[in-house]
Amino acid sequence: MSDWRSISLWMDQLDEPLQPRPSLAAEVQADVAIIGAGYGGLWTAYYLKRRAPQLRIVVLEAQIAGYGASGRNGGWLLGDLLNAERLLAGLPAELRQASRRLLQAIPDEVAAVLQREAIACDYRKGGVLYCAARYPEQRARLQQQLQALRRAGLGEDDYRWLDAEQLAAQLRIAGGLGARYSPHCATLQPARLARGLARCVEGLGVQLFERSAVLAWQPGRLRTARGSVRADWIVPAVEGYAADLPPLGRYQLPVQSLLVATEPLSAETWAQIGLDRGQAFCENSRQVTYGQRTADDRLVFGARGGYRFGGRLRTDFNLGAEERGLRRQLLGELFPRLEDVRLSHAWGGNLGMARRFHPHMLCDRRSGIALAGGYGGEGVGASNLAGRTLAELILGGDGPLTRQPWVRGDAPLASLPRWEPEPCRWLGYNAIIQSFAHEDRVLADRHSPPWRRRLAARLADVMAGLMR
């Protein structure tokens, strides 16, 4: 591929020439070899070099920095981790609180790096709105979730309820019934962050080779088409691309998320919509819809896209009419004024999903492999935490970062829970997604009788339980 700007709106907006760096064409010796120049690999390289400048670090990227999910995502920088509350549930209250503060500080940690390294990526910390809009069951579910967060010890400073009027002061969404708001989230321009990090680590002395796909890997050695790397540590930072590096595909499956962006909207239109502080928003259905207002006044809007049999990666993200149509339909329902707005960009990407939906970070000292992944679509922030954690583990540290329930410490890759074999994965995924789509159709129809609404919601609850 050479038309790098067609990857996403974010890559198209870059004002730098997208000229790939040289490929690896020799045998190189390193202390740490990282596969992938996305957030996970670049953050790991950054924190390792900051703490141990003498380390020889090599990063191998199959395409160019930012080609994968790091240049395609929705631009949410969450101070959270997928399924964090479930992972923290077994900890004593004091440790639970400390772990939450660690997660909530992720946006501020990234902001500090951006300032220190002069990386401009439209960072704005405006919080996130989880909205109820299209049917009343969304409001009930959000309030139940808020009650559960309160029981877990999270207060008003972490999550608070906004009634319809308070929601409208931030976001005027059709039929807005209320929202759960958290301040622990920022939005940014993802590709500028990825490309800026790449330049930053190069400036620190990291060797970055692009168009250097890893064809074979084993402890201590990587091989590309024209070269190889010997290293004490191997860090496969591939997330949704784990299927390309057996046996990682047993532990992380690629799932697609698809997005659209409007043309820049007028000041008058934004005055009617809101989102004037860089807030992220999510319409609280199980279809996973999300969005943000960009620095150049577009609305970026996305929804989960699908899973391919056998965990095959999707490489063609020219969205079809049905894929664009669903996102336009949802966008029009939430913002009727935008029903006929021109969509300037449509794209998607592969994200990594771990079994039991638990993100993981581990460091196997016997084989010299350090790994993090399974972020489930929340990798912008999680990858920063992972980079810090893997650096700490590789350097032999033992502090708060390494003592978290999502960290397996000195554990082999085989200790991770595996996904079931096909066709179980494909059948299970599609059954679950169909139940979510059915629930959404039934609940969004105000004429659906109460018994049918209860049945659709109960079925979706049961199927959601299977994901755990």
CATH number of the CATH domain containing 386:
3.50.50.60
Is the domain of 155 the same as that of 275? yes
Q: What is the pLDDT of residues 239-265, one digit of tens each?
A: 999 989 999 999 999 999 999 999 999
Is the domain of 179 the same as that of 207? no
Cα separation of 228 and 56, whole Å? Answer: 15
Is the domain of 196 the same as that of 234? yes
Best CA proximity match to 359, nearest among 383, 391, 393: 383
| Single residue among 302, 330, 351 that ends a domain in this structure | 351
Mean pLDDT across the chain, nearest whole number? 95
Cα separation of 118 and 213, whole Å? Answer: 30
417 in a structural domain: no
Is the domain of 133 the same as that of 235? no
117 in a structural domain: yes
416 in a structural domain: no
Is the domain of 167 the same as that of 269? yes
Total structural domains in the chain? 3
182 in a structural domain: yes
Q: Write down the pLDDT at residue 1.
A: 60
Is the domain of 173 the same as that of 287? yes
Cα angle for residues 202, 74, 85 (degrees, 5° grid): 95
Is the domain of 174 the same as that of 258? yes
Is the domain of 374 the same as that of 392? yes
Question: Residue 157: pLDDT band by 50, 70, 90 thresholds?
Answer: very high
286 in a structural domain: yes
Tell me the two tokens of residue 187.
């939005």
Helix, coil or strand: residue 383: helix
Which domain range does residue 311 map to? 82-187+254-351
CB 456 within 8 A of CB 442: yes
401 in a structural domain: yes
Q: What is the pLDDT of residues 66-116, one digit of tens each?
A: 999 999 999 999 999 999 999 999 899 999 999 999 999 999 999 999 999
Name residues whose C-beta falls within 8 Å of residue 21's C-beta, 6 or more positions apart in sequence: 64, 65, 208, 209, 210, 211
| Single residue among 351, 372, 398 that ends a domain in this structure | 351
391 in a structural domain: yes
| Single residue among 389, 411, 433 that ends a domain in this structure | 411
Residue at token pair 């790991």: 44
67 in a structural domain: yes
Is the domain of 130 the same as that of 171? yes
Best CA proximity match to 444, nearest among 84, 47, 134: 134
pTM (2 d.p.) = 0.96
Is the domain of 171 the same as that of 273? yes
Is the domain of 10 the same as that of 144? no
Cα angle for residues 250, 388, 95 (degrees, 5° grid): 90
Is the domain of 379 the same as that of 362? yes
